[in-house]
């Protein structure tokens, strides 16, 4: 389940140190707080019992202890502490306003907890990747392609991972409009696909035997499965919606393709010559919580007629041209009627922009037309302004100063101390790893920014050191850096 990451936590943290150091940003020291007490005896007993279960399943003592730590992190810190605290903060943030009345905007008070929630998606992926690498559970796909999580020991780990994934999706959609791209609360990278797969995974009740391979194949069992384990939290009473549709990287196979000779194609295009004064309009438009992004359903106005754009005949790069005509630096195309269904005829020639064009009138027609396009196939776009290193650095520096590890979490104040530390790390990670909401900033790109190599500034080094000290003092079963992916210096 491992995959290349856009911005690992460690490098994302170091990134802001370089930028802020080069611009002379100084850290703000928060008030100090007394150290938190170490884990209680019940938590220690739970961890010891879980470790013995993993050893009985055939894991060596060192690996069994690591799996036990991850189990406590999943069931206790994430599931029983951090997520309920975040849910409480998000509920307060929307102040009882129904989702139908806040679909096109993120409530101002929900911005910070939604950023934290987005970082928890990443933390869940870290936990899943660590646990699967260590052999704490196995995984496979069944005949239908559904993910199957096979427990190594009957300790509730895989059930907990699945329930947390479902809760993340539910909280994201309910409070952060996670099914509408272009704001905080739902990751746009691989994390969202992993979490969605885990949320819908099948969990057999029979744990792996010591001789079972780490990635088991489905086989019938002659023995009756043991009863399911009891977990410390239960999200089963929630009505989890389907995972939101993710924007596809390429259009689906067209239902109708012109297969004619070049002369015939030229004759066809000659009958569909576009006028030079094509104007871009935006239906169902809205801005993100920062006011810098615009998203909606684009259309074209020509000769007094409004035209919608069908996903089957619009290139991905066309989003850049559409957004530039609206005054933005570029954009991302979204399919499947994300911002509403078409209410006008589709542009017959489509758009096959390459990206550099300044006007959609300069874009060639699409070689694929789809007269059978349905209203729900209208494309949407999220338009972004030009990236500003100064704005990015300022936002990151403010987040680092405000989210000092020694201070209580403002997005999960009712969580345990370990849950609060994870909340602070999650929000910092989200701010640093995104140029804008919904637009990840890869480490490789960040390293090209001026001043990145001069990351000797103490701002982030102190933050990392303080976070680690606070986590150790609280006896947290979590680290800032995932075990499966040790960070490397830029």
205-256 pLDDT, tens digit per residue, is 666 554 444 444 343 344 444 443 333 333 333 333 333 444 433 433 333 3
For the stretch 174-189, pLDDT in tens is 999 888 888 999 887 7
For the stretch 1-38, pLDDT in tens is 544 444 443 434 433 333 333 334 333 333 333 333 34
More confident residue, 215 or 364: 364
**Separation between Cα atoms, residue 189 and residue 170, nearest integer Å:** 18
Question: Where does the chain hold its CATH 3.10.250.10 domain(s)?
Answer: 262-288+294-384
**72: which 2 tokens?**
């406590």
pLDDT at residue 192 tops 70: yes
**Separation between Cα atoms, residue 322 and residue 485, nearest integer Å:** 39
Give the sign of the dihedral formed by CA 6, CA 247, CA 284, CA 176: negative
Angle at 346 between CA 341 and CA 349, to 5 degrees: 145
Report the pLDDT averaged over residues 441-467: 67
Give the sign of the dihedral formed by CA 82, CA 460, CA 7, CA 104: positive
**What percent of the chain clears pLDDT 70, i.e. is strictly above it?**
70
Predicted local confidence at residue 283, as pLDDT: 92
Report the pLDDT averaged over residues 285-303: 90
Residue 394 has, within 13 A of its CA and on its CB side, a CA count of 5
Q: Which residues contact 262 (CB under 8 A, 6 or more apart)?
A: none
Predicted local confidence at residue 215, as pLDDT: 43
Per the CB < 8 A criterion, the answer to whether 381 and 296 are in contact is: yes
Predicted local confidence at residue 446, as pLDDT: 66
pLDDT at residue 420 tops 80: yes
Between 74-88, 118-132, 239-253, 422-436, the lowest mean confidence (pLDDT) is in: 239-253
CB count, 10 Å around CB of 242?
A: 11
Q: CA distances (Å), 280 to each of 167, 191, 307, 324, 328, in order?
A: 39, 33, 10, 10, 12
Report the pLDDT averaged over residues 427-454: 74
More confident residue, 455 or 337: 337
- pLDDT tier at 475, thresholds 50, 70, 90: confident
- pLDDT tier at 164, thresholds 50, 70, 90: very high
Per the CB < 8 A criterion, the answer to whether 289 and 111 are in contact is: yes
**Separation between Cα atoms, residue 72 and residue 476, nearest integer Å:** 9
Report the pLDDT averaged over residues 144-148: 87
Among 29, 17, 43, 13, residue whose Cα is nearest residue 417: 43
DSSP 101: G
CATH code for residues 262-288+294-384: 3.10.250.10
CB count, 10 Å around CB of 251?
A: 20
Predicted local confidence at residue 93, as pLDDT: 94
Per the CB < 8 A criterion, the answer to whether 132 and 139 are in contact is: yes
Predicted local confidence at residue 371, as pLDDT: 63
**290: which 2 tokens?**
């920062």
Between 66-70, 340-344, 409-413, 473-477, the lowest mean confidence (pLDDT) is in: 473-477
Give the sign of the dihedral formed by CA 13, CA 15, CA 16, CA 21: positive
Backbone angles phi, psi at 302, to 5 degrees: -145, 125
- pLDDT tier at 483, thresholds 50, 70, 90: very low
Report the pLDDT averaged over residues 42-64: 89
pLDDT at residue 193 tops 50: yes
Task: Work out the mean pLDDT of the chain and round it to a whole number.
Answer: 75
Q: CA distances (Å), 114 to each of 51, 87, 174, 300, 437, in order?
A: 34, 10, 11, 34, 11
In terms of DSSP bridges, do strands 294-302 and 305-308 run parallel, antiparallel, or are they unpaired? antiparallel
Predicted local confidence at residue 133, as pLDDT: 92
**Separation between Cα atoms, residue 84 and residue 117, nearest integer Å:** 11
**Separation between Cα atoms, residue 478 and residue 202, nearest integer Å:** 26
- pLDDT tier at 324, thresholds 50, 70, 90: very high
Report the pLDDT averaged over residues 302-316: 88
- The predicted model scores a pTM of 0.75
Predicted local confidence at residue 254, as pLDDT: 34
Output b/e per residue, 450-475; b: 16+ Cβ within 10 A: ebbeebebebbebbbeebbebbeebe
Among 399-413, 437-451, 473-487, top mean pLDDT goes to 399-413
pLDDT at residue 257 tops 60: no
């Amino acid at each position: 389940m491992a995959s290349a990451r856009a911005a690992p936590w460690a490098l994302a943290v170091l990134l802001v140190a370089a930028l802020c150091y080069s611009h002379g940003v100084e850290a703000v020291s928060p008030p100090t707080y007394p150290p938190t007490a170490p884990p209680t005896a019940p938590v220690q007993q739970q961890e010891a019992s879980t470790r013995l279960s993993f050893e009985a399943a055939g894991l060596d003592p060192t690996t069994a202890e690591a799996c036990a730590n991850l189990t406590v992190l999943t069931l206790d810190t994430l599931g029983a502490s951090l997520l309920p605290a975040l849910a409480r903060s998000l509920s307060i943030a929307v102040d009882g306003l129904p989702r139908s009345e806040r679909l096109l905007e993120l409530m101002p008070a929900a911005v910070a907890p939604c950023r934290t929630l987005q970082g928890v998606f990443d933390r869940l992926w870290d936990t899943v990747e660590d646990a699967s690498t260590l052999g704490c559970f196995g995984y496979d796909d069944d005949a239908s392609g559904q993910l199957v999580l096979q427990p190594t020991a009957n300790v509730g780990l895989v059930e907990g991972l699945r329930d947390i994934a479902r809760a993340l999706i539910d909280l994201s959609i309910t409070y952060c409009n996670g099914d509408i791209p272009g704001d905080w609360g739902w990751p746009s990278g691989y994390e969202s696909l992993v979490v969605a797969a885990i949320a819908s995974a099948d969990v057999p009740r029979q744990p792996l035997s010591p001789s079972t391979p780490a990635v088991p194949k489905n086989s019938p069992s002659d023995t009756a499965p043991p009863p399911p384990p009891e977990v410390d939290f239960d999200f089963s009473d929630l009505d989890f919606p389907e995972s939101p549709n993710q924007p596809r990287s390429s259009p689906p196979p067209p239902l109708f393709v012109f297969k004619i000779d070049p002369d015939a194609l030229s004759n066809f295009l000659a009958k569909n010559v576009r006028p030079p004064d094509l104007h871009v309009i935006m239906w169902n438009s809205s801005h993100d919580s920062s006011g810098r992004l615009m998203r909606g359903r684009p259309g074209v106005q020509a000769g007094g007629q409004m035209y919608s754009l069908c996903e089957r005949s619009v290139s991905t790069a066309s989003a850049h041209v559409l957004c530039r005509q609206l005054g933005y630096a570029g954009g991302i195309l979204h399919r499947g009627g994300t911002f509403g269904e078409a209410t006008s005829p589709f542009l017959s020639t489509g758009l096959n922009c390459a990206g550099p064009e300044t006007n959609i009138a300069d874009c060639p027609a699409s070689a694929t037309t789809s007269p059978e396009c349905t209203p729900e196939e209208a494309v949407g776009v999220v338009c972004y302004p030009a990236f500003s290193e100064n704005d990015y650095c300022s936002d990151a520096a403010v987040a680092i100063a405000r989210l000092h590890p020694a201070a209580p979490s403002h997005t999960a104040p009712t969580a345990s101390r370990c849950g609060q530390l994870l909340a602070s790390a999650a929000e910092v990670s989200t701010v640093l790893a995104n140029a804008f909401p919904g637009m990840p900033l890869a480490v490789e790109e960040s390293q090209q920014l001026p001043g990145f190599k001069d990351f000797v500034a103490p701002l982030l080094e102190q933050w990392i050191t303080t976070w680690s000290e606070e986590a150790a003092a609280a006896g947290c079963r979590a680290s800032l850096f995932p075990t499966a992916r040790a960070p490397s210096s830029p």
